[in-house]
Structure 1
């Protein structure tokens, strides 16, 4: 569903990703792991066309998106939930969700029923400002906004970071449900190795902007985690 081949990515003159190749198969979760600052967030931004420039091939379902602008990549079926969520605090919950609809191909402008089913608190408070929500509720809102785009591929950047523990398990369960029941392909940047092992079918370990290790999750050994993630 999503493939990168020999991708280099830059912020101005800063060369961050080097010859990155990976594949997220249709209907699977691919976990992207590594220490802080190794290029995981840059990887997702590169897929969305949010870095200064990149070279190499990026494909969705076999079609190249490498020359597309960010809004065109979104319309190709990729939704992105960034680190920090980036909801608009003065917009209502409803308005924040509807922002995702601008990436839909069918022109539909409606809060998706799936999001209301997954996030009952949001459904009951659509007219509240997004800025009054807790961190966990804002994460739910960011995922709901992504679902409004009707994506085929969902990019999630550390979706449980900074969230109260009682909400973390709920967010994790929703990610698994979106993959298993809805069939979304998910690229998950995550520091929680336990969750990655539980949820993902494949993994990529990033080290200094390069793919250091990759394979099925069964091959994500404690030795690899210690080598590439221990501080």
Structure 2
């Protein structure tokens, strides 16, 4: 579904992503993990189109069509192709209601005004009683549910989540994990997580890609994420 080939990214003169290659198989949950500052957020922003790729390619391929290089497409066009994205800052409209936020999300990929259907509330029932509540009046957990609903409302084929568990309480993290498992394993949605909370990763992900200083230093099934790798790349001594 999505393939990265030798992707390089720079902040000014600083080389952030180094010849990074990665494949996201359809219907699986892949986690990009690593310590803070190792390139996780930069990577997902490059895929979503919010950061420039200096060289390399990011290719999107449907089952019945040829691969298409995403680097020629803006973030809205990538969203219209089927890439949903929830960034760390959620990017909801705080002075608009839940329903208004969802309507705006639908307009991003559909012309004209569209009514918010019941399917999104069936998936995320906690939002139903809040649909006339403004984003600013919601809890952090409910704001995240709204950001997730805004990404899901256009039925994406790939869902990208940047550090989703950051700041979550354990209760909501469990509920969110259940929702993610349903999306991935029951509904077949392909998922890419940028995450560093290891128990959550082991619970929801099928595959992993471990970043260290912008390089893909290990990848495979989550069952292969062993003590040796974690001690080498996921301890403070591994930081640059």
- TM-score with structure 1 length normalisation? 0.94
Q: Displacement, 1:143?
A: 0.5
State the Cα deviation string for residues 139-177 of structure 1 (Å, max 9, x = none): 100100001122100000111110222111111111111
Q: Displacement, 1:103?
A: 4.0
Q: Displacement, 1:113?
A: 3.0
Could you tell me which of 185, 191, 216 is aligned with 2:221?
A: 216
Counterpart of 2:74? Answer: 69
Q: Displacement, 1:36?
A: 0.4
Distance 1:49 1:121, change over 3 A: same
Distance 1:178 1:37, change over 3 A: same
Q: Displacement, 1:107?
A: 6.7
Q: Structure 2 CA distance, aligned partners of 1:3 and 1:105?
A: 26
Q: Is 1:177 equivalent to 2:182 in the alignment?
A: yes
| Count of paired positions | 231
Distance 1:167 1:6, change over 3 A: same
Distance 1:38 1:45, change over 3 A: same
Structure 1 stretch displaced more, 150-159 or 64-73: 64-73
Q: Structure 2 CA distance, aligned partners of 1:204 and 1:177?
A: 22
Q: Structure 2 CA distance, aligned partners of 1:107 and 1:214?
A: 43
Distance 1:152 1:135, change over 3 A: same
Q: Structure 2 CA distance, aligned partners of 1:160 and 1:74?
A: 23
Counterpart of 2:64? Answer: none
Counterpart of 1:129? Answer: 134
Q: Structure 2 CA distance, aligned partners of 1:179 and 1:111?
A: 23
Q: Secondary structure at the match of 2:166?
A: coil
Counterpart of 1:153? Answer: 158
Counterpart of 2:36? Answer: 36
Distance 1:110 1:21, change over 3 A: farther
Please list every run of 5 or more consecutive structure 1 residues that lacks an aligned counterpart in the other structure. none
Counterpart of 1:24? Answer: 24
Q: Structure 2 CA distance, aligned partners of 1:54 and 1:69?
A: 15
Q: Structure 2 CA distance, aligned partners of 1:210 and 1:146?
A: 28
Q: Secondary structure at the match of 1:66?
A: helix
Q: Aligned ranges for residues 1-231 of structure 1 at < 5 Å?
A: 1-61=1-61, 62-104=67-109, 109-231=114-236
State the Cα deviation string for residues 182-217 of structure 1 (Å, max 9, x = none): 211000111111221222111000000110111111
Q: Secondary structure at the match of 1:5?
A: strand
Q: Displacement, 1:115?
A: 2.1
Q: Is the 8 A contact 1:204 1:211 kept in 2?
A: yes
Q: Secondary structure at the match of 1:176?
A: helix
